[in-house]
Amino acid sequence: MRANNRFWKSTSRVLPWLAVLFGGFMLRAWQLRDQLLADDEWHAVHKLVGSDFIGIFTSFGYSDHSIPLTLYYKVLTLTTGLSEWSMHLPLLLAGVLSLLIVPWLLRESTRPVERLTLAGLMALSPLLVYFSRTARPYALSALLAFLAVVAFYQWWKKPGFRWSSVYVVSAALSAWLHPVTLAMTLTPFVFYGVA
């Protein structure tokens, strides 16, 4: 009887998370295979057509392509081939993984039901769904910028190498994907300085 109770208790914890992940994935992946590139998504394609790896690595170009994504696209063009699906895949994965990673990062300051609610709201968020459906770095840079802010807070609470290195790496990667994220990742220094 105890084993049966444990099974139902663990199932009642896992099933809502699976529902949130499934729903979040479906909203982000629905008709994504048929979606064509539009607007700013073409900046990276224009850059990789006219540049080699060094040219991509050393310049944001005239139309602010994301350097890491454009390098990834260049690798795809030389190996398996570039498609809309392969261009969207890293951002789709980042968008879905954020539904797990963000609540996990907040595990010390939130209760389980709050983490599940947060994941559910993130799964339904129109902006986060949109970020996950574009071939622009927003879904990945948002996740990395949030990780950087949480890492800074953890380092502030208990200084040490672990959280400071997580902050530096995630802030740097986020800025490399999209420099505008520096406005978010450097802001904690203002609060730290004021305190």
**How much is the pLDDT for 42?**
79
**How much is the pLDDT for 8?**
60
**How much is the pLDDT for 49?**
84
Instruction: Specify whether the CB–CB gap between 143 and 97 falls below 8 A.
Output: yes
pLDDT tens figures, 157-177: 899 899 999 999 999 999 999
Please classify residue 139 by burial: count the beta carbons closer than 10 Å to its beta carbon, then call 0-12 exposed, 13-18 middle and 19+ buried. buried
**How much is the pLDDT for 40?**
72
**How much is the pLDDT for 101?**
96
pLDDT tens figures, 75-85: 999 999 888 88
Residues of the chain with pLDDT under 50: 1
Kindly report the pTM of this predicted structure: 0.85
Q: Looking at beta carbons, which pairs linking 37-44 to residues 24 or more positions away fall under 8 Å?
A: 37/84, 37/87, 37/135, 40/64, 40/136, 41/87, 41/134, 41/135, 41/136, 44/69, 44/70, 44/73, 44/87, 44/135
